[in-house]
């Protein structure tokens, strides 16, 4: 054993360094625990959506909610409940609805707050992977910081045994792209364009136009929950409630 071959002064030095490390780590953990002891839920929207306020007599809505994340969640009941609180009727046929809400849950999981803001501000259809990448980078940085604070393998291991666990500042998010179709009393001409890559240097531009009876609005919504040592299972209900409240707030 390494401990057995160390001299008495070396053992005292290691114990002293371990005590200092443990004290510093404990103070930092205590500060985080005090600052983040309460659950904090926030919801951000990339773009404001203004619907036509002159046609609010028809309060029928059809919900088409998808989930392409790797988590099995369903935000539809939360959206429907909030809309019903505002006297909207959820119908089963999109042809009977004055409004159609289409939403896709893009990402559910840990997120770095700064990377999350960037993903939100990219708006509808933008890259959502920044939140996940930011979370991974944050965890790596946290791991490196803790390793540096351990003052070496022996001292770090000893301090870890004494502390038992590490206090973590955790943020979870649900990121969703939302598209709202509003019935129009006038014909609406829409033009669709797509740029398709054909190899490295060649691209094909496609466009088509058609007449419809609906306006289209698009935005991105992210609900985030922050608390010390937060579990995903505890974060999901308030996160889904935040998504439902934000979408219903448009109406």
Q: For residues 57 and 89, is the Cβ–Cβ distance under 8 A?
A: no
Q: Identify the pLDDT of residue 198.
A: 81
- pTM of the full structure: 0.72
Q: Identify the pLDDT of residue 197.
A: 82
- Is 51 part of a structural domain of the chain? yes
The residue assigned the tokens 């994340």 is: 69
Q: Identify the pLDDT of residue 89.
A: 97
| Phi then psi dihedrals of residue 135, to 5 deg | -65, -40
Q: Identify the pLDDT of residue 7.
A: 54
- Is 220 part of a structural domain of the chain? yes
- Is 203 part of a structural domain of the chain? no
Q: Identify the pLDDT of residue 154.
A: 45
- Is 238 part of a structural domain of the chain? yes
Which H/E stretch holds residue 189?
Answer: strand 169-198
- In DSSP terms, 180 is beta-bridged to 101, 217
- Is 120 part of a structural domain of the chain? yes
- Is 230 part of a structural domain of the chain? yes
Range of the domain at 73: 39-150+166-184+213-249
Give the DSSP letter of residue 177: E
CATH of the domain at 239: 3.30.160
| Phi then psi dihedrals of residue 228, to 5 deg | -70, 130
The residue assigned the tokens 């028809």 is: 58
Q: How many CB atoms lie within 10 A of CB 33?
A: 14
Q: Identify the pLDDT of residue 194.
A: 85
Q: Identify the pLDDT of residue 249.
A: 96
- Is 2 part of a structural domain of the chain? no
- Is 197 part of a structural domain of the chain? no
How many domains in the chain? 1
C-alpha–C-alpha distance, residues 181 and 102, integer Å: 8
Blockwise average pLDDT, block size 10, the chain, 251 residues: 54 55 51 64 94 87 97 97 96 97 96 85 71 50 41 45 62 96 91 83 88 94 93 96 97 94
The residue assigned the tokens 């993903």 is: 119
């Amino acid at each position: 054993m390494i401990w057995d071959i160390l001299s008495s002064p070396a053992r005292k030095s290691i114990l002293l360094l371990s005590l200092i490390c443990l004290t510093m780590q404990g103070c930092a953990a205590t500060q985080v625990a005090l600052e983040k002891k309460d659950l904090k839920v926030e919801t951000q929207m990339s773009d404001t959506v203004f619907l036509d306020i002159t046609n609010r007599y028809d309060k029928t809505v059809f919900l088409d909610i998808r989930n392409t994340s790797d988590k099995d969640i369903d935000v539809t009941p939360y959206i429907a409940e909030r809309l019903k609180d505002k006297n909207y009727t959820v119908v089963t046929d999109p042809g009977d609805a004055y409004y159609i809400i289409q939403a896709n849950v893009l990402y559910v999981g840990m997120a770095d707050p700064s990377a999350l803001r960037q993903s939100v501000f990219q708006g509808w259809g933008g890259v959502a992977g920044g939140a996940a990448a930011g979370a991974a980078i944050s965890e790596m940085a946290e791991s490196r910081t803790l390793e540096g604070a351990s003052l070496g393998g022996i001292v770090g291991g000893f301090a870890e045994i004494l502390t038992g666990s590490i206090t973590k500042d955790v943020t979870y998010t649900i990121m969703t792209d939302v598209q709202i179709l509003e019935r129009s009393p006038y014909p609406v001409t829409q033009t669709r364009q797509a740029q398709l890559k054909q190899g490295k240097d060649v691209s094909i531009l496609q466009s088509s136009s058609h007449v419809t009876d609906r306006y289209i609005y698009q935005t991105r919504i992210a609900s985030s929950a922050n608390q010390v040592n937060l579990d995903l299972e505890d974060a999901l209900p308030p996160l889904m409630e935040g998504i439902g409240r934000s979408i219903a707030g448009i109406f």
